[in-house]
Amino acid sequence: MGRISDWINRQRHNRGYGVQSPSSFFFVTQVLKERLPYYAYPILEEIAKEEKNSAKRLKELFRITNHHNPANSIAIGSPSAACAMATAKPSADKHCFADKQPGRLASALLASHDCPIKEGNPLELLKSTLKETGEVGMLYIGNIPQRAELLEEALPYTNKKSIIVIEGINGDEETKAWWQTVVDNPATVVTYDLYSIGLLLFDNERIKQHYTLKR
């Protein structure tokens, strides 16, 4: 029954059905599901191929960043995600933490956008960066073991304009159970399950709501 209800929810919300909030309806239909081409898509497709990532996900992340217009962006464990965010908002204060250097295209793009790649303990890097920025603009947490600790560190720095993206939320049963605690957390006001990634928004003027979208 769990899989059937999950499928039904994704079908309903995929095109905005059952999404009563005007802002959420716009976000689903005009951002997440937008089909118009963007100038950045060709380079993101090349980076996705080089980094063995999903071009669809990078394009989606580009649109989300473009829509939210964050003051700063932090990508942890995914240089290709950092590329999508940096391309969408070049003027943001940009940070990328990775355990290894990315390929030629991603390295060149991040360098052109003044986004250095820092190697080291991601939790310690996030702590020091958040002390500098004072807030989370947009944070991407890749599919890495420290996801729960990273999110816990970031939550006190969120505000109504913050957005956090978490990769791999449906990877296994333990991760799914953890993701459900994130959805239930009173601090996460509006949440989206896009299957491969989860989105967290923190505008406490809105009603708490969770949406599941088609895979």
Look at residue 126 and tell me whether its pLDDT is greater than 50.
yes
How many Cβ atoms are within 10 Å of 97's Cβ, its own excluded? 25
Q: How far is CA 199 from the centre of its chain?
A: 6
Q: How many domains does the chain have?
A: 1
Q: Which has more confidence, 15 or 208? A: 208
Q: How would residue 23 be classed by pLDDT, with cut points 50, 70 and 90?
A: confident
Strand 93-97 with 117-118, pairing: parallel
CATH number at residue 109: 3.40.50.150
Q: How would residue 2 be classed by pLDDT, with cut points 50, 70 and 90?
A: low
Look at residue 15 and tell me whether its pLDDT is greater than 70.
no
pLDDT at 115: 96
Average pLDDT, the chain: 91
pLDDT at 11: 46
Q: How far is CA 122 from the centre of its chain?
A: 16
- Classify burial at 57, counting beta carbons within 10 Å of its beta carbon; exposed 0-12, middle 13-18, buried 19 or more: buried
Look at residue 72 and tell me whether its pLDDT is greater than 90.
yes
Strand 138-141 with 72-76, pairing: parallel
Look at residue 20 and tell me whether its pLDDT is greater than 90.
no
pLDDT at 4: 44
pLDDT at 19: 57
Q: How would residue 12 be classed by pLDDT, with cut points 50, 70 and 90?
A: very low
Residue 82: which domain range? 2-212
Look at residue 17 and tell me whether its pLDDT is greater than 50.
no
- Classify burial at 58, counting beta carbons within 10 Å of its beta carbon; exposed 0-12, middle 13-18, buried 19 or more: buried
CB contact at 8 A, 126 and 116 = no
